[in-house]
Chains A and B, each alone.
Chain A
Amino acid sequence: GAVVSQHPSWVICKSGTSVKIECRSLDFQATTMFWYRQFPKQSLMLMATSNEGSKATYEQGVEKDKFLINHASLTLSTLTVTSAHPEDSSFYICSATDDLYGYTFGSGTRLTVV
């Protein structure tokens, strides 16, 4: 079956620093990657959609200069949280899709900004 590897699984960073989260599709080519943010006891909120080789499409209210998304290949997408602040602390999850496997989620990254 399809597998998406997401790293790191958890990270603690200081306020003002940047954090990069990686998602890799291990056995399929992800034509599209979705990035979600999930606050405690809340639903998954889509942040952006990215297609390989093109600029990401951000959802309304998501700052594109703060949440940098790079989808340089069909197997790798990264989300960089720049100048992180405590309110950015959340659970970030990627989801990759192709025409065959549907939606495959990464294991998530717990970000804590102190």
Chain B
Amino acid sequence: GENVEQHPSTLSVQEGDSAVIKCTYSDSASNYFPWYKQELGKRPQLIIDIRSNVGEKKDQRIAVTLNKTAKHFSLHITETQPEDSAVYFCAARTTGGGNKLTFGTGTQLKVEL
């Protein structure tokens, strides 16, 4: 089945700096890659996603890049703010597995003042 690895597990940045979180996946059949932000005790919130036919997508301060050949995808947050502090999860969807999402292990992002 699909395996998604995520790095780093914790990331601390200064307010205004950029943050980058990286994920790799194992199944070349995966075709959809969402990123979620989860605050303590809350549901995951979709912040951006990318499909396998696109290499990059941007939404204001958030961008995602996908390298299908290397099976890598990354989340980029620019001009970080304290409210960006949360746990971020990447995920990959495999069409052959009933469209289920496999999640990465998560990154605790802390934006310091």
By beta carbon, the residue of chain B nearest A6 is B43
A103 interfacial by beta-carbon distance below 8 Å: yes
Q: Which of A12-20, A40-48, A62-70, A80-88 contacts B (4 or more CB under 8 A)?
A: A40-48
Q: Smallest CB–CB gap between A94 and chain B, Å?
A: 10
Cross-chain contact B43 with A103 (CB below 8 angstroms): no
Cα A65 to Cα B104 in complex, Å, equals 28
B contact residues, total (Cβ < 8 Å):
17
Cross-chain contact B43 with A106 (CB below 8 angstroms): yes
Known A102-B46, A103-B34, A105-B43; contact A43-B105, beta-carbon cutoff 8 A? yes
Cross-chain contact A103 with B46 (CB below 8 angstroms): yes
Q: Smallest CB–CB gap between B85 and chain A, Å?
A: 15
Cross-chain contact B34 with A43 (CB below 8 angstroms): no
B98 interfacial by beta-carbon distance below 8 Å: yes
**CB within 8 Å of A: which of B93-113?**
98-106
Contact digits for B34-55, partner A, Cβ 8 Å, 1 yes 0 no: 1000000111101001000000
A contact residues, total (Cβ < 8 Å):
20
Cross-chain contact B89 with A43 (CB below 8 angstroms): yes
Choice from A43, A49, A57, A97 contacting B106 with Cβ under 8 Å: A43
Q: Chain B residues near A95 (CB, 8 Å)?
A: 101
Cross-chain contact B46 with A42 (CB below 8 angstroms): no
Cross-chain contact A42 with B98 (CB below 8 angstroms): no
Q: Chain A residues near B101 (CB, 8 Å)?
A: 34, 46, 95, 103
Cα A106 to Cα B43 in complex, Å, equals 7
By beta carbon, the residue of chain B nearest A57 is B98
Cα A110 to Cα B43 in complex, Å, equals 11
Interface residues of B (CB under 8 A from A): 34, 41-44, 46, 49, 89, 98-106
Can you give 21 A-B contacts (C-beta < 8 A)?
A: A32-B98, A32-B99, A34-B100, A34-B101, A42-B105, A42-B106, A43-B89, A43-B103, A43-B104, A43-B105, A43-B106, A44-B89, A44-B103, A46-B100, A46-B102, A102-B34, A102-B46, A103-B34, A103-B46, A105-B44, A108-B43
